[in-house]
Amino acid sequence: MERQAVEYSQNLSEMITRLNDPGFLLVSTKKTGVSNVMTISWGMIGIIWGKPIFQVLVRPSRYTYEFIEDSHVFTVNVPPPELKRWVAICGSKSGREIDKFGAYNIATSPAQHVPSITIDACPVVYECRVVHYNNVIPAQMDGAVEAESYGGRNYHRIYFGEILGTYAAQ
C-alpha cells in the first residue's frame, strides 16, 4: 500500500479507538533480521522528553518480548478490516508455534527509519526506536487493577518508542 509521511498525531482519536478494538499489530525484528508480530490493545501515543512517543506494554511471556529486547526497535501497524481474522490469530498464537507472516502469506516491506518491517496491507504505520523502558511495579499498583490484570505474575514491560516516522495511505 502506498503511504506518505504524516504527523504522528494524525487522526489520533480514531487511532486510539482502533487500538482498543480490534487492536494494532506490533512487529519487532531481531538483529539477525527475523521478525515476529503480535496483536496489542494497550498503549499510548503522546509527548515525553519533547519527543513523540508510542508506549507499548509487552508481557515477558510473549515471544515478541525477546525481539524488542534484542533490537530495541518496533513498528506499530494499524490493520484494515480485511485483516480482522489474522489480527485475532496474531493475538492468540505465538511466533514460537508458527511463522505468522509466512503461514498466512502476509506481505511486508522494510521500514524507513528502523531496521524492521511494516505490513503492506496496513493503512497507517508508526516506526519506533526504544528510548526507555520500565516495568510495572506490583507494590505501586492499585490492588484491584493488579488482581484484574496480573494476579501476581507476568507484569508488563513498558517500552517507550520514539516515533521516528508515521506513514498513512492518503
Ligand X SMILES: Cc1cc2nc3c(=O)[nH]c(=O)nc-3n(C[C@H](O)[C@H](O)[C@H](O)COP(=O)(O)O)c2cc1C
Which residues of this chain interact with ligand X, rule CB under 6 A? Answer: 23, 36, 38-42, 57-59, 62-64, 91-96
Name which of 18 and 51 has its Cβ closer to ligand X. Answer: 18
Pairing of β 43-48 and β 51-58: antiparallel
Contacts of 97 (CB under 8 A, 6+ apart): none
User: Amino acid identity of 162?
Assistant: E
Q: Which residue's Cβ has the minimum distance to ligand X? A: 91
Backbone phi, psi, residue 33, to 5°: 105, -5
Name which of 36 and 116 has its Cβ closer to ligand X. Answer: 36
Task: Tell the smallest beta-carbon distance from residue 2 to ligand X (Å).
Answer: 27
Task: Tell the smallest beta-carbon distance from residue 32 to ligand X (Å).
Answer: 16
Task: Tell the smallest beta-carbon distance from residue 5 to ligand X (Å).
Answer: 26
Backbone phi, psi, residue 18, to 5°: -75, -25
The x, y and z cell numbers of residue 160, run together, are 517507550
